[in-house]
Amino acid sequence: MIPEVQYSSVKVLGEIESIKEEIIQISQVLESVPLWRPASALKKQCREVINVIENLRERFDRKLVVTLIGPSGAGKSTLLNALAGVDDLSETGNRRPTTRNVMVLSSQNHDAEQLRREIGPKNVNVLTSEASAALNYALLIDTPDTDSTEQQKHIPLVKRAIELSDVLICLFDAENPKRRDYVDFLTPYVRLFHGDALVVALNKCDRQDERDLKESILPDFESYLRKAWEKPVYSILCICARNHLKNPEWDQQAAPRHNFDQFEQLRNIIFGTFNQPSYVIDRRLENAQSLKNYLFTEIQNQAKTDAGTLSAAREKLIELEKQAAREAVLAVGADDSRQMFGVNVLLYQKLSQKWFGPVGWLIALWARILIFGTGMAAIFRFGNPIRQITGIVSSLIRFKSSQAAVAEASDTQRAESSLRHYRLAILRQWPEIGETLIKGNFDHSLRNPEIVGQDPESITETLSNLWSDALEKSIAKTTDRFSGFFLQLFFNLPTLGILGHAAYLTTKHYIEGDYFSSEFFIHAFLTMVIILFLSFFILQALLRVFGGTRRITSRAFHMMKTKAETWPAVASHPVANQIDTVLTLSSVLPEDQ
C-alpha cells in the first residue's frame, strides 16, 4: 500500500508546479508593458523566484534545511553544540570569526550533498552526533558570522545558505546594547528568505533581570523586529544556550540570574515540529506559496504606487482621443461636388431596390444613367462612327469617374485630411499627457508622441467606417421615407391607369373586330411616357426638396459626431493598453493573502 506521505508529495508537487505557472504568466504580463520602467526589475525578480522554486522541486525529497544566522558573538556555535549534545562539536570562543564555513548537523554525510554543490565543497563541513541521528527529515546548519573581519568572504556563503533554507533561526545577544543595530543589519538577509518559518531567539537571557526581560526588553525587541523586517515571525524565544552544554564552565561571577529559559521549546520545534515528513512537504509548498505572494506583493505595491498617476493620464488620454476625433470628424464634414454626386447615385440605387411598377423601372434606369453618364447616349447615336467610338470612350471614362465618386461617398475622400487634423490635435496636447505618464514611471521616450502613435491606417479605417455607417443609415432613412406603399401607388397609378385604359379599349375593339390604327398605339405610348416621366420628375423634385443629398450628408455628419463621442480608438491605443495592464497588476494579489 502506498504511504499517505507519497500521496501528499504528489499533490504538493502539482501545486508547486501550478505556482510556477502563475509566476510565468505574471512575467509574461510584465513583458507586455515595456514602457513601464519597473517592469524590467520585476521580470528579473520573476526569473529569480522561478529558479528558487525549481530548486525547491529538485530538493523536494531531501531533508528540510534549518539555518542559524546571527551577528558575531551571538552564540550560534554554542547553540549548535547544545542542540547536538556535544560541547566542542563546533568551535566556540572569543576569536572572531568563530565559524568560517557552513557547519551542517546531519545524521548522514550525503544529506549535505546539495549544499556542497550549491555553496562549494570546501565551504561546507558536516557534523554528526548522537543527537543528530534523530534528524531524519531535517538538517541544522550554522553559518559564518556576517559582521566579522572576514565578512566579505562570508556574506556570499550566508546569502546562498539562506536562499536554500526552509526554516531560518535568527540569533541575537540579549546583553548587547547594539541589538537593534543588528536587527537592521540582518534585514537584507532576512528578505532573502522566502519561507514562512522565521524563528527568532534571544540568547544569554540569563544575564538580564527576569522581570525586566519579560516586561520591557522582549516586548520592545519584538515590536522593533516586526516593524524592521515586515515579515511574520513564527516564534520569539528567550534562551540560554550555554546553560545546556554538558560543561558550561560558568564564571563564578557570571552564573545565571534566573531559570526563565525556552531552550527546550526551541529544541522541540527543531527536532519535533520541523523534523516531520508531513511538515517537510508542507514547508516546501508554503515556501513556494510565500515566494509567489512575496513577488506578487512587490508587483502589486509598485503598480499601486503608480496607479493614481496612470489613471489620471488615462483619463486625459481618453479626452484627448475624443477631442482629436471631433476635429477629424469636422474635416470629414467638409463637402464637395464629387461626394454629393456619389451620395445621389447611392440614393437612387437604394430606391430602385424598393420601388415597383413603371416609376421603379425608371428609377433603376436613372441610377444606371447616373453611373454611366451622358456618354451612354452617344453609343446609340446614328451617323458618324467616330462620334460613336468617342461616345463609348466617354461612357467608360464617366463610368470610372462615377464609380470613384460612389466609393468616395462611402469611404470619404477626406480620409487624409481627417487623419491630419487628428494627428495635429494629438501633437498639441500630448506634452502634458507625456509628462503625467513619466511621473507614473513610464519611459521618458513618451515625451515624443510619434514613438507610440497609433497606426494611421487603423485611424483612417475607423474614421471611414464611422462615416460609411452614418451615411448608410442616413440614406436608408431617406429611402424608407420615400418608398412607402401609398406613395409608390400614387406615382405609379397615372401611368398604370393609362396603360389599363389603352389595354381595355384595345381588347374591346379587337373582340368586336374593330382594329385600331398605329396612330392610336403611338399616342397611347407617348401619353404613358409623358405621364411616367412627369411622375418621375415630380418625385425627383420632392426628393431634392425634402431628401436631397445635402440633407442626407448633413444628417450623416451629425450621426458621426454623436458616435465620435464614444470614440473607440483609445481602446486600442498602445499606451492605453499598457496603462490598463499596470492598473490590473495593482490588484494582482487577492485581498485575503
What backbone phi and psi angles, to 5 degrees, belong to 198?
-110, 115
Asked, as a colleague might, if the bond just before 97 is cis with ω within 30 of 0, I would say yes
Least confident of 38-47, 110-119, 197-206, 340-349: 340-349
Residue 67 has pLDDT above 60, yes or no: yes
Percent of residues, the chain, with pLDDT higher than 90: 19
| pLDDT on residue 397 | 42
Residue 335 has pLDDT above 50, yes or no: no
The cell numbers describing 181, all together, are: 543595530
The cell numbers describing 379, all together, are: 453609343
Asked, as a colleague might, if the bond just before 177 is cis with ω within 30 of 0, I would say no
Instruction: Report all structural domains of the chain as residue ranges with CATH numbers, in order of start.
Output: 62-275 (3.40.50.300), 335-413+455-572 (no CATH)
For 374, other C-beta atoms within 10 Å of its C-beta total 11
Please indicate whether residue 3 or residue 469 has the higher confidence score (pLDDT). 469
Please check whether residue 591 is in contact with residue 322, taking contact to mean a CB–CB distance below 8 angstroms: no
Please check whether residue 137 is in contact with residue 176, taking contact to mean a CB–CB distance below 8 angstroms: no
Tens of pLDDT, residue by residue over 470-511, are: 888 888 899 999 999 999 999 999 999 999 988 988 898 888
CA distance 186 to 178: 12
| pLDDT on residue 375 | 40
524 CB contacts (<8 Å, ≥6 apart)? Answer: 498, 502
The burial of 422, by beta-carbon neighbours within 10 Å (0-12 exposed, 13-18 middle, 19 or more buried), is given as buried
The burial of 593, by beta-carbon neighbours within 10 Å (0-12 exposed, 13-18 middle, 19 or more buried), is given as exposed
Tens of pLDDT, residue by residue over 143-192, are: 887 666 667 788 888 888 888 888 899 999 888 766 788 888 888 888 87
Q: What is the largest CA-CA distance in the chain?
A: 157
| pLDDT on residue 325 | 72
Average pLDDT over residues 260-285: 85
Measuring CA to CA, which residue among 348, 351, 554, 354 is closest to residue 470?
554
For 164, other C-beta atoms within 10 Å of its C-beta total 20
What one-letter code names the amino acid at 476?
A
What is the pTM (predicted TM-score) of this model? Answer: 0.55
| pLDDT on residue 149 | 62
Least confident of 268-277, 331-340, 352-361: 331-340
Give whichever of 49-63, 389-403, 407-421, 503-517 has the largest mean pLDDT. Answer: 503-517
Helices 277-332 and 38-58, packing angle to 10 deg? 150
Predicted confidence band at 453 (pLDDT cuts at 50, 70, 90)? low
Predicted confidence band at 339 (pLDDT cuts at 50, 70, 90)? low
Average pLDDT over residues 339-348: 75
For 551, other C-beta atoms within 10 Å of its C-beta total 15
